Amino acid sequence: MGSILLAVGQSICNRQNRLESSQHLLHDEAGKNSPEQENINAMQSNSQTWIIYLARAGYLSRGVVYLIVGGFAIFAAWGAAQSKGPKGAVLKILQQPLGETLVLILIVGLVGYIMWRLVQSLLDTDNHGWAAKGLAIRLGLLSSAFTYSGLALYAASLTGAFASESENEAGGLAQQMGQVIGQKYVALALGCVFIGIALAHWWKALSRKYADHFQANTQIMAIIHPVSMVGLTARGIVFAVIATIMILRFLGVESGDGAPPDVKDALTYVQYLPFGVWFLTALGLGVILFAGYSFAEAIWRKINLEDASISDQF
């Protein structure tokens, strides 16, 4: 695992250094600014560089988590282990040699990912706009920031940084909502949300919209395309299974404690389906490819910060 982090991290640093060198070259060709303007530009460049590194570290951390999740799904399919969700993956990292140090590094990456998701959502770095579709995507990015905040807090609690009062904050919120409007209707609403997330993943895979955000040559994209398409499809299937569980709860077929099912629950559900061994093995491989997609984003994704401005959003 350490070698994977080192290799991808080195690729990120090398690529970022090449990008910065080309930007400095363009700036020199454009002519010199006043000393005050140069100081402002330098400060902006430094802050953007840090955000770019944190964003790439975030994609790397997400990839590590899903690499573990996918690997254990395959082991679980053949009875060699139990399926794990993102929290289980973090716990597995902690159990490795120098586990606490690795978890602390993972937390830094997760914080970077959270910051980048907030920037993407609030500053609209990918130009999704204010139309209904754009707002839905930006809301999804914002939700992702909150989801990974929970994972980062959980990871921090494992290191003893603080005591985690709630192991499943989303579950607690769902239970509170269930007391107001009824558990069945909360299950139906969450099922519809997860169906939407699954469809968005499948559309992104089939339409290759992810390619708009990559900056890589043709040879590299020839590898990224199949990895991204299969990986996004597999993650969409996981969300579709979560939606299925929620709708079955609404129909009274499945029982639940009010907490929404997570990735681990979805993988376990697949495991006990007819031919579950093969389905879970294929899904585990797909999740590993989603980790590969995350690693590709860590290296080649466009991190658009040049035009990001709060004033542009209002």
Q: Are 246 and 190 in contact (CB under 8 A)?
A: yes
* Residue type present at position 10: Q
Please give the C-alpha separations between residue 177 and each of 148, 182, 189, 259, in angstroms, as whole numbers: 21, 7, 11, 10
3-state secondary structure of 140: helix
- Tell me which residue of 96, 111, 97, 98 sits closest to 155, measured CA to CA: 111
pLDDT by residue, tens only, the chain of 314 residues: 555 555 555 555 555 555 455 544 444 444 455 555 555 455 556 667 888 999 999 999 999 999 999 999 999 999 998 999 999 999 999 999 989 999 999 999 999 999 999 999 998 888 888 898 889 899 999 999 999 999 999 999 998 766 555 445 555 555 554 444 557 777 888 899 999 999 999 999 999 999 999 999 999 999 999 999 999 999 999 999 999 999 998 888 776 666 778 999 999 999 999 999 999 999 999 999 999 999 999 999 998 876 555 545 54
Please give the C-alpha separations between residue 284 and each of 53, 68, 120, 213, 288, in angstroms, as whole numbers: 29, 10, 29, 25, 6
Q: Are 145 and 121 in contact (CB under 8 A)?
A: yes
Maximum separation of any 2 CA atoms in the chain, in Å? 70
CA 303 to chain CA mean position, Å? 15
**Strand pairing partners for 135?**
none
